[in-house]
Structure 1
């Protein structure tokens, strides 16, 4: 048994009884864990593998070369080791996460520097791995399309008469992180309480994860089962909701709490690359929580997307 259900978007798109069953599965799965495995996602076959190959070329570059593309959490470029600790987002003090990241994001500037210089930064591409720019353009376009479709799926799962996100995501903020988790042989033994990514929930609406399975891999938390290894399906993407969508749902659906285990002694040479697309909304989108009986908690205040996200990003940034 697993707390994460698998849904097929092709069955939902087909309509009728099959679609109704998918919607029931989505609501039940989200209430249980805030996670789904999603088949029928439409991402071109072979594209994630091509992105990984290019990313591994980048992460294998000497540190002084990667340093030319260095940035901080929330920026664009290389986020080196020791700069991020996701456990701080939920108030857990942990050593730095055991990973390196190459981050890209929304760059469609709106003409207001106070907004653009935070949410719509220009992307930085390594000349040493020229193919990465083209590959990531294709990959993030597929993720954007899928994320909009997932928001439509979620509103139907709650039997809403209209999709409120259609007016809130005309120029959304998003980030796509390529996370490299180095092997134990490179890092040495982890510190006590240190993870590849510490326990946390994501911040936005939906997160779409293409991951590799491993001994030091993803775990998901539920109240019923505690921490459990996340199931892996090579034909599916792992999807979880973040704090912003959980707030919108009136806490009917919990943000998916998760962590990535440290490298394991049983697999000392294991290195993993994950592709993580964090979708949000327009920076100035006003999100009004659903009241009961759809929502679980009444009286929650509306929030502005950018303000809501900023406090959480600041919490996980070290130094």
Structure 2
């Protein structure tokens, strides 16, 4: 089912999951990445979201910064340029972003873990559009997790309760244009691994996304137009005892004209429930691969630990 000219799997979610699970799992084991076509997110919704994202980021700086929430760890609203940095990085990433999270009803037992969303009044249709996109991302992510469960030999619905009402976050991301001779090849987002369960990324068609292979080489990820790039996060890496790999990746400014224009993308960081205990799956432990993290940790505690490392908490 792989139709890529690279070793990174490109699979269709329109196919029966049993027919793509092997290729998907192999790609996640080798690279931590795969590409998903026919993911079910309507192109009309994607186009609308991209337009509204650009409209928001074009607002004056003082208007955008009014939606920054000090002490909020960047969980909701606007995070200004030069705030986030990769773990162990010496400089901040060259980006600004907006976060949309889950909205829970009043009195929900997990509400204490999730802040309320804020919505920019200056952009018409923002709340409806990104609420719809959040739901569409979640549906696509659930399908990917079903295929992963099949690959791991688990019940198909194994992951459904682990991510129900999870602390998933959708990020609208803008890398401002760079200037000067140093722009071509500059690092816009330093090498990092994602914290969460899996990440689904829209907008990776623009050259620049690279993953670090086991051989220490940087490999470009170049999906076809409209496809999702999906990668394993640290939480799922830990749960599977590194069988599914959370791979270091970065965003490099491309060469040529594209080096001097802004880059936009929309990653969806799919998370476990805050109260889910991440404990190594017994099926991923054997004499050659003993449990690397024998002590369980809650999804929330792990998230907070990692947010402190990247300057967001």
Give the TM-score normalised by structure 2: 0.88
The answer for the alignment partner of 1:236 in structure 2 is: 227
The answer for the alignment partner of 2:129 in structure 1 is: 135
TM-superposed CA distance for 1:308, in Å, is: 1.1
CA, structure 1 residues 189+134, in 2 after alignment: closer, same or farther (shift >3 Å)?
A: farther
TM-superposed CA distance for 1:170, in Å, is: 2.5
Question: Are the equivalent residues in 2 in contact too, given 1:250–1:291 (CA < 8 A)?
Answer: no
1-side partners of 2:60 and 2:181: how far apart?
Answer: 22
Question: Are the equivalent residues in 2 in contact too, given 1:183–1:270 (CA < 8 A)?
Answer: yes
For residues 150-204 of structure 1, give each alpha carbon's deviation from its aligned partner in whole angstroms, at most 9, with x where no partner exists.
111101011224533233222211111000011114xx6769x963211111011
The answer for the alignment partner of 2:248 in structure 1 is: 257
CA, structure 1 residues 285+267, in 2 after alignment: closer, same or farther (shift >3 Å)?
A: same
TM-superposed CA distance for 1:284, in Å, is: 0.4
Q: Which of these residues, 32, 52, 55, is aligned with residue 53 of structure 2?
A: 55
SS in 1 for 2:270: strand
For residues 56-77 of structure 1, give each alpha carbon's deviation from its aligned partner in whole angstroms, at most 9, with x where no partner exists.
1111111111111013543211
Structure 2 portions without partners, runs of 5+? none
TM-superposed CA distance for 1:98, in Å, is: 0.5
Tell me which protein shows more helix as a share of its residues: 1
Paired residues in the alignment total 303
Q: After the TM superposition, which segments of 4 or more aligned residues of structure 1 sit over 4 Å from their partners? A: 188-191, 263-266, 292-296
Q: Which of these residues, 3, 13, 16, is aligned with residue 9 of structure 1?
A: 13
The answer for the alignment partner of 2:98 in structure 1 is: 102
Q: Which of these residues, 64, 67, 71, is aligned with residue 66 of structure 1?
A: 64
What is the RMSD computed on CA atoms of the aligned residues? 2.5
1-side partners of 2:57 and 2:257: how far apart?
Answer: 23
| Pairs within 5 Å for 1:292-311 | 297-299=289-291, 300-301=293-294, 302-311=296-305
1-side partners of 2:181 and 2:165: how far apart?
Answer: 43
TM-superposed CA distance for 1:309, in Å, is: 1.3
Question: Are the equivalent residues in 2 in contact too, given 1:67–1:78 (CA < 8 A)?
Answer: yes
CA, structure 1 residues 247+44, in 2 after alignment: closer, same or farther (shift >3 Å)?
A: same
TM-superposed CA distance for 1:243, in Å, is: 0.5
1-side partners of 2:279 and 2:157: how far apart?
Answer: 13
The answer for the alignment partner of 1:16 in structure 2 is: none
| Pairs within 5 Å for 1:159-308 | 159-161=153-155, 163-185=157-179, 195-215=187-207, 217-224=208-215, 226-262=217-253, 264=255, 266-291=257-282, 297-299=289-291, 300-301=293-294, 302-308=296-302
2-side partners of 1:68 and 1:97: how far apart?
Answer: 21
Question: Are the equivalent residues in 2 in contact too, given 1:212–1:274 (CA < 8 A)?
Answer: yes
1-side partners of 2:242 and 2:91: how far apart?
Answer: 30
Structure 1 portions without partners, runs of 5+? 14-18
1-side partners of 2:236 and 2:220: how far apart?
Answer: 24
Give the TM-score normalised by structure 1: 0.87
Q: Which of these residues, 25, 33, 36, is aligned with residue 34 of structure 2?
A: 36
CA, structure 1 residues 298+275, in 2 after alignment: closer, same or farther (shift >3 Å)?
A: same
Question: Are the equivalent residues in 1 in contact too, given 2:57–2:174 (CA < 8 A)?
Answer: yes
For residues 24-79 of structure 1, give each alpha carbon's deviation from its aligned partner in whole angstroms, at most 9, with x where no partner exists.
10121111111110112110122112111111111111111111101354321110
The answer for the alignment partner of 1:78 in structure 2 is: 78
1-side partners of 2:241 and 2:269: how far apart?
Answer: 21
